[in-house]
Amino acid sequence: MDTRKLSIGFVSLALLAGAGAWAFAQPGQPPQPAGNPQPKGEDKEGDEEEVITLDKAPEAVRAAAIKLAGDAKNITKVIKEEDDEDVVTYEVEYNEGAVKCAAIFSTAGDLMETEKATTEAKLPAAVMAALKKDYPKAAFADPQVVTKMFYEIEVVIDGKKHEVKVDASGNIEDESKGDGDEKGEHKEEKKDKKD
């Protein structure tokens, strides 16, 4: 098993749990009901979500979701999400036996992320230790094992090599760019090449 992917999964789980604990601790925010988690992903200003029926999703998404869930009857909810950059994804919630799961697909039906409910007892000790250290007074709920799918590509610019990560919707993460807006900088490069 690729330990790098496993490490990314654990880091994603820790970040998700930390964000959930932070959101739960915010004053004036209504608590989210158990068993009905907020749609996953980063809700940025301008993001739009719409609950739709499975038949309203693109054929590629329907086929991929049914294949992953094992049967359309296992699918409990489909959410069409559009971010402020007009990137559309579909979050499909489904049950795997008694376990609640979710998957995010691109419009082409490419699997981008999976989430699977777990229990606090099944979390690695280091995850719980980090959470308890950073959030000593918090209660923790709804842990998820998150696996993000991306492609890692070696890019050569002016003879210098570095790796970039690209998800199925074309979002690029390029750590060599520093603190800037990687997506914005990448789009500007594309625009300059077109001009």
**Per-residue pLDDT tens over the stretch 7-17:** 555 555 555 55
Instruction: Express each pLDDT in 158-171 by its tens digit.
Output: 999 999 999 888 88
Domain 3-23+40-148: give its CATH code. 3.10.450
- At 184, is the pLDDT very low, low, confident or very high (cuts 50, 70, 90)? very low
Predicted TM-score (pTM) of this structure:
0.63
Contact 68, 103 (CB under 8 A): yes
DSSP line for 153-177: EEEEETTEEEEEEE-TT--EE-GGG
Residue 96 has which token pair?
Answer: 């795997």
Closest CA to 101 of 75, 64, 123, 120: 75
- Amino acid (one-letter) located at 87: V
Domain ranges of the chain: 3-23+40-148, 151-194
- The stretches of the chain forming alpha helices (DSSP H) are 3-24, 59-69, 125-134, 182-194
